Structure 1
């Protein structure tokens, strides 16, 4: 019996040594790195976009890579104050916050509009009051869309005396013409602006 144990001593010692080495390596192997889940843009989005679930995707970042003010929840329904690229984490600096509408009446919303004359938009500042006009047909106009007389439609005032909330930075290289403005409106005014056809322009009313 002792002779048999003597023959097995070296293989058993090697097996125990290998097991000890494996245990030591497992103890030294780093565990999964911690990460923080934030929200990122699912595609390139222009300023003025009202965020929908399809515009967002989760992104796991190491703690040291999470930007200050990164949004983890609550982005749906908010409006982008500046353009974002696909995969870019969303931060509070990229969306309109409640502070922008502080001081306005309850029920006020920030409505994005694109004005055809970018040079006029550069004259605006937060707090300025404007009239927004459309040269397109009324949404209730029953004429065919190819009616040539539509080009002679007079300008219609869509909303009057609405305050400018902010003028987002210009989107360099954007194929769309004009410039974006965010104005404070009530919900019926916001619906009117959202359904407006044709080219939008503005007049500065002051006061």
Structure 2
């Protein structure tokens, strides 16, 4: 009877050893899972980033209500993102943005725009001679402004790299004074103040068009 005691002791100690091994293995696996989880899943603090607070159309002039701050992990935060709302407010959104989308430098218009408060910039409303050209324009595009040739004057470039600030509704077309065809919708162009004066004056006496960059 007593010769069975060593066997019983071994059997009695085996479950405890197995339990310790399973615990050690579980801890090891848990550590590996945590190690390879994304920073956001691990609860690691991210970097403060300016994102759109709602869906925004192209050409929007960004205001405080259009923006919000969120923490994004560095591995998903895009290059060119910023954490300073003041560096985004008052700038124009080149393309549409979904709610929660980080607003990077390439999505924002670098040039001065209407409402930015830049004293060196002015906004000029013009109607293009070809309505079809106006239909191709989108806020944020850069264009060259051309005065069409007329009697005794050749076509000339009035301004380079003007910025399209806004395009009026297509239904606002008006007939030309000559009765031939129609001009396009009103287009707002952002230009340096000195150049804007020349474009505005020329548009009163000559047809204006633009070339797309």
Of Structure 1 and Structure 2, the greater helix share is in 2
**Structure (1 or 2) with the larger CA radius of gyration:** 2
